[in-house]
């Protein structure tokens, strides 16, 4: 089926949502391939910055190749700061194009706007605070720990008529089923990460794929901070 994003001549309504459910997870490249296969039919769409016409949809194989590149850097003890990663880790997953719309802003380039609930991706970083012995997610700064992707999906949605509703699994919100399949896979194939800091074990709700356990302590950010994953 062809995935065609509706177009508009100017910026209109954009997604208004709250109480986001978040899945911060670091999984191996093979695990990511398994996760995407489990999700069934959906599209990966660039939504960051100006996008050349015809390049809005990210082929699944291209996404997996970039993710494999990211994981290879972690395995080799390198810092995965390649700008190639950014648009892929800032994309969205959706089962239907009407959740989005495009605006042609200059010759050959579009803006993609989100209108209805989709699964949003963000590069996930976390860090340890010595002040209160706590790990925190989505810490800004290159000194923080690169930890895969955070997948997010809203619990509440406000439509164009300002009506607030719960984002349920029904025909109005087709992406809810997509996110629930993701939650189910993450629950069964990853673990809450058992970090070890100064000899103390701290279990953190950021998730870690089971295939990562053989190499995770090669992670350059963990080694620099003298943090380990307790195996």
pLDDT tens track for 63-106: 999 999 999 999 999 988 778 899 999 999 999 999 999 999 87
| pLDDT tens readout for residues 154-211 | 999 999 889 999 999 999 999 999 999 999 999 999 999 999 999 999 999 999 999 9
Give the chain's mean pLDDT: 94
pTM of the model: 0.95
pLDDT of residue 142: 76
* Cβ-contact 152, 23 below 8 angstroms: yes
Q: How many domains does the chain have?
A: 1
Pair of tokens at residue 138: 């989505």
Inside any domain, residue 2? no
Q: How far is CA 110 from the centre of its chain?
A: 22
Inside any domain, residue 132? yes
- Using DSSP bridges, classify how beta strands 190-197 and 164-166 pair: parallel, antiparallel or unpaired: unpaired
Inside any domain, residue 7? no
pLDDT of residue 11: 87
Residue 1 has pLDDT above 80, yes or no: no
Inside any domain, residue 94? yes
Residue 130 has pLDDT above 90, yes or no: no
- Using DSSP bridges, classify how beta strands 164-166 and 227-229 pair: parallel, antiparallel or unpaired: unpaired
Inside any domain, residue 42? yes
CB-based contacts of 115: which residues, under 8 Å, 6+ apart?
12, 13, 14, 15, 98, 99, 100, 101
pLDDT > 70: what percent of the chain? 100
Alpha helices by DSSP H, listed for 28-109, are 29-39, 60-75
Inside any domain, residue 159? yes
Question: Can you give the residue range of the structural domain that contains 142?
Answer: 13-190
CB-based contacts of 101: which residues, under 8 Å, 6+ apart?
5, 6, 7, 8, 12, 112, 113, 115
Inside any domain, residue 206? no
CB-based contacts of 61: which residues, under 8 Å, 6+ apart?
none
Inside any domain, residue 23? yes
pLDDT of residue 12: 87
Residue 131 has pLDDT above 80, yes or no: yes
């Amino acid at each position: 089926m062809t995935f065609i994003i509706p177009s508009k001549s100017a910026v209109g309504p954009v997604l208004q949502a709250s109480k986001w459910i978040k899945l911060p997870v670091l999984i191996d490249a093979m695990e990511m391939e398994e996760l995407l296969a489990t999700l069934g039919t959906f599209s990966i769409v660039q939504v960051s910055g100006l996008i050349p016409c015809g390049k809005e949809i990210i082929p699944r194989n291209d996404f997996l190749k970039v993710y494999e590149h990211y994981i290879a850097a972690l395995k080799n003890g390198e810092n995965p700061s390649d700008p190639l990663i950014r648009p892929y880790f800032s994309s969205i997953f959706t089962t239907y194009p009407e959740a989005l719309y495009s605006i042609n802003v200059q010759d050959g380039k579009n803006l993609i706007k989100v209108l209805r609930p989709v699964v949003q991706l963000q590069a996930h970083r976390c860090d340890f605070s010595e002040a209160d012995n706590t790990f925190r997610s989505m810490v800004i700064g290159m000194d923080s720990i690169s930890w895969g992707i955070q997948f997010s999906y809203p619990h509440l949605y406000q439509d164009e008529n300002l009506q607030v509703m719960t984002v349920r699994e029904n025909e109005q919100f087709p992406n809810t089923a997509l996110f629930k399949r993701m939650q189910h896979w993450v629950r069964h194939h990853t673990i809450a990460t058992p970090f070890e800091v100064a000899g103390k074990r701290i279990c953190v709700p950021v998730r870690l794929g089971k295939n990562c356990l053989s190499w995770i302590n090669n992670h350059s950010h963990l080694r620099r901070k003298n943090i380990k994953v307790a195996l």
